Amino acid sequence: MIRLLKVYQIIKKFSLLFLLLSNNLVSQNIDMYIALLNEGNSAGVKEQLPELISKFPNDPDVLFLKALLTQDGMSALEQFGNLLDKYPKSKYAPDAAIKIGEYFFARGLYSQASSYLSKVLTEYPNYPDVQRVIDLMVNSFQAIGEEDSARYYIYLYKSMYPGLDISEYGLREMTSNYNSRATNNDLSSKQKHFLVQIGAFSTKANAQRLKLQVSQIGFNVIVRPIETNGRLFHAVRVVGFSSKKSAEKAGMSIKKKLGIDYRVLYRPKG
């Protein structure tokens, strides 16, 4: 009996190992197939798709490839949406989200495209092709005449991704206007000594993500480096309050909407 149990355990371990190896191989193959699609070689990939679906019907990478090869726009849109619903953390989920935005844009649904794309980087802040997302988002806003919205999101994402190229957007006054606004905000915050601290992170990227999240519900948020016990942290603070009462009110609003704890601080030097 003990011997049979050991044999069963060995078989189970090998089965798990085989499953992991199979998943890795599938992922590598999908990368290769997508590279072929980008080169315009779709015929060979289509031939392999039925076998992939047969062997891995619930693999999110295979489902993404299937959606890419679907010629009917509405059907592809539905598949990308289902992929995001079922596998929001999968490898190609960010690409699926952008494909939905591209579909809206291509159909002339610029309002839906701009609204959708403006949230993609909130969900997937580490997506490698940030420029692609921002370009499409800005074009969508400009197509419906929402220049102010375009400026707002460009400024917001430029602060998160300093390498973002904004020179082609035709908004020449944007940088100077927002630099001026930022300067005015800084001066204002120095005169208004109460602030709401909503987090402190050792990693600046995490602080910037929280800053973006809270900025989107209408608050003036800054990230300020602070040192505690010899360690550097990046504090996320909502600034611009002339009284403790107004700061508390803002903190309560943030906690109600986002579930984020806070504390009110008094900082005469801003």
Give a yes or no: residue 201 inside a domain.
yes
Give a yes or no: residue 208 inside a domain.
yes
Domain that holds residue 246: 188-266
Give a yes or no: residue 221 inside a domain.
yes
Q: Collapsing DSSP states into helix, strand and coil, what is residue 137?
A: helix
Which pTM value belongs to this model? 0.56
pLDDT per position as a tens digit, 61-76: 999 999 999 989 889 9
Instruction: Calculate mean pLDDT across residues 127-146.
Output: 89
Which tokens belong to 265? 């601080």
Sign of the torsion formed by the C-alpha atoms of 258, 264, 265 and 269: positive
CA distances to 46, 61, 169 from 50, rounded to whole Å, are: 8, 14, 42
Which tokens belong to 219? 């608050």
Mean pLDDT of the chain: 80
pLDDT per position as a tens digit, 142-187: 888 888 888 888 888 888 888 888 887 876 555 455 455 555 554 4
Give a yes or no: residue 97 inside a domain.
no
Which CATH number do you get for residue 218?
A: 3.30.70.1070
Give a yes or no: residue 194 inside a domain.
yes
The whole-number pLDDT of residue 66 equals 93
The whole-number pLDDT of residue 99 equals 92
Give a yes or no: residue 224 inside a domain.
yes
Give a yes or no: residue 110 inside a domain.
no
The whole-number pLDDT of residue 188 equals 45
**Greater model confidence, 267 or 180:** 267
Distance, first Cα to last Cα, the chain: 73
Which tokens belong to 218? 């209408």
pLDDT per position as a tens digit, 69-108: 998 988 999 999 999 999 999 999 999 999 999 998 988 8
How many separate domains does the chain show? 1
Give a yes or no: residue 169 inside a domain.
no
